[in-house]
Amino acid sequence: MMLSPWPWPTLFAHRGGGALAPENTLAGMLKAVEHRFAAVEFDVKLSRDRVCIVLHDDTLERTTNGHGAAAGQTWEQLARLDAGSWFGPAFAGTALPTLEAVAACCLSHDLLVNAEIKPCPGREVETGECVASELARLWRAAPVLPLVSSFSYPALQAAHAISPRLPLGWLLESWEDDWQDKLAAIDAVSLHCDEQLLTPERVEKVRSAGYRVLAYTVNEAARARALLGWGVDGLFTDALDSLPAALRD
């Protein structure tokens, strides 16, 4: 099967700023701009009052000064949190952003986007619907829509039902033998895998079926070169300050 056109670059800045800034913040997105990345990846979930927020964990302790489940707090409560001090004093007071704020930043800097739907437990369908609706609205005039991925297949099904135009990618942390049927059922464009799952044979099979292959999280140049040599289409990296130069060299 022929591969469809692919507007995204080879490298995506993982969670915005990779290892250079607090993850999933506007400060991270600006680090990607500073290091001349053309695309960023970030995570989206819902507050208690269904505001799309950019946050990886289900709980707040690791990356903010908050406590408890993110899904248990309203956006008004979450907006008061410090999402930068954990990373370093230079980022003290960094806010936890909404998807709308991240969209404004990315669009103003011409950053392409992979938005990962990261539902809190029990909110898979609700989060898929809300995030897809918001992505379609915020990028309605953009020349390239966000690439939307998730480990949650129900979230992807819900996203596809709400906004069939959004390009979808299914995320895997263990290999699934029914990957082709699952991708076809949601009109997906890509399969996103833990880089350790990939072999030349698997990459060739996925691409021969008409789907792109993306790998996370790749920080070493030798591994990146090997994956790209197998035909992998995109890499998510934390090494914003070293991997691009290493690949050029």
Q: Which residues are catalytic?
A: 14, 56
CA distance 98 to 51: 7
